[in-house]
Chains A and B, each alone.
Chain A
C-alpha cells in the first residue's frame, strides 16, 4: 500500500488530500501540521479577532473530516528535514516517516523587521489561530495598538482591533497602503475610507524601535516621533517555510520551485500553496503567489497528479479581493505599469465621489491585470480574460461599460460547448 505524506494542513494540504482521496480510496494519507488545531480558515483570523466570526465557524472542515476520509492527522509536529534519497522525512521529535509521494505545503511565516525591542512580549505576527488567541487575550488590557505594515494582513488586523474599540495606528513605510495589490489612486480611496472609520494611517515613515521596559510603551518612528501603543502587530509580509529542504537537492528560490505539474525537481515530491514558487502567467516568470484560491488550485492539481493523473497547471496569478467598511476592492494580475512604458495600454474609469474606480491593463490587446473599486461584479469575467489570454481588440469600448458581461465574451472563449443557452 502506498503512503502519501502532506506537510501542511491548510488550504493546499487539504485540497491535495481531498483530491487524492477522490481518486484513491486505499492508499494511506498522512497530513502533518506544526500547529495544534485542525484545518481552519486562515484568512478568517482577522474576522475572528474582530468578533465578526465565532470560533465554531472558523474550522475549514468539520472535525470528523479526517476520520471520514481515512486521513491520519499529526498535529504539533514539525518536519525538520526532507530526505529525497531515502524517501523519508525527519521530524523535530526525531521520528521518521517514509513516503511514496510527498507534498510540501508548509506555508509561510511573518517577516519581522530587525529593530530594537521587536522581540518584546506584546509584539505579534498575525498568521495563526495561536497568534490570534494570544492577541485576543491582551485586548482587555489594551487601549492603543500599532500595526507595522500597510499590507493586507496589517490592514485586516487594524480593522479587527478598531472593531474591538482599540485605538489603532498603521505605520506604512511606503507612500500608500496595499502597495502589493493596488495603485496609488485605489490606495488613496482605501486610505480615506479607513481614516473616516477611525483607523489612522501614517504613510512614508517606518518604525525604528519598540520602546518599553518589560511591557511595550511606544513605537519610535524613523522620524524620531514616538507613538504610544501597548500592542504591536507586524504585517511586513511573509516568507515561505523552506528550512526543511534547504540542505537537500530540492530546488528553491524564494519558495520551492514547481514545474507545470506542481512537481519539484524531484519527481515524487510536489509543492503547493504559500511555499510554492510557480509560473506566474501574467508576469511570465516564476513567483510566489501566497493567496488562498491559488493554494487551493495548486493543492488540488498536485493531489490529482500524486494520485496518478497528469494534469497540467497553467500557472498562478495574483488575485485578491477585500472589503473595508462596505467598499470592495479587487486586484488581478499586473496592477501597475512603469510610467512611460508604451507597451501597455490602460483603460480607466474614475469617479471618486461615488467611490468608483476601474483600471484595466492590456498588453498586445490581451488583458493582463485589473483594479476594481466599488463595482466589482465583472471581476470574474476579467479574471477569465486574463487566464485565457483572450484578445479583446473587438471589446475595448465595452470593457468598462456598466453592463459588460459574459455575453460579450461568449464568442471569444475556449468553452468546449455552450451548455445553457439553446
Chain B
C-alpha cells in the first residue's frame, strides 16, 4: 500500500451509482496503489462515509441519487472536519459548464466519462501527490 504524505496509507472513497463503473474506479484506485476505504452508490452514503472514514481523496460521480456529486463537494468544503480532502469528479456530461460547476463546488479535478482506467489511475495518484 502506498503511504500518504503523512506516512499512513492514502485512503480513497469511491461513489458512483453504476456498480460496473464503481468497480472500474475501484480497480483504478487499486492500480494507483491506494487504499479503498469505502465504495458507495449514493451521494448521501458518500458524504456519510467521508465523515466517518475521513479519506484523503473521494472519487465522486456527478449524477447520483440522493445528493449529487456537486452537492457532496459543496458539503465537504463547508465541513471544517473534512474540507481539506481532495475531490475528483467523474461525469458523463461533456458540457463546459458542468466542469465549471464542478470547480465552483470545490472539486480539485474533473474527468469525463468514458475514461481510460490507466488515465484515471494517474489522475487519482496525481490528486494525492502519489505518482
Question: A and B bound?
Answer: no
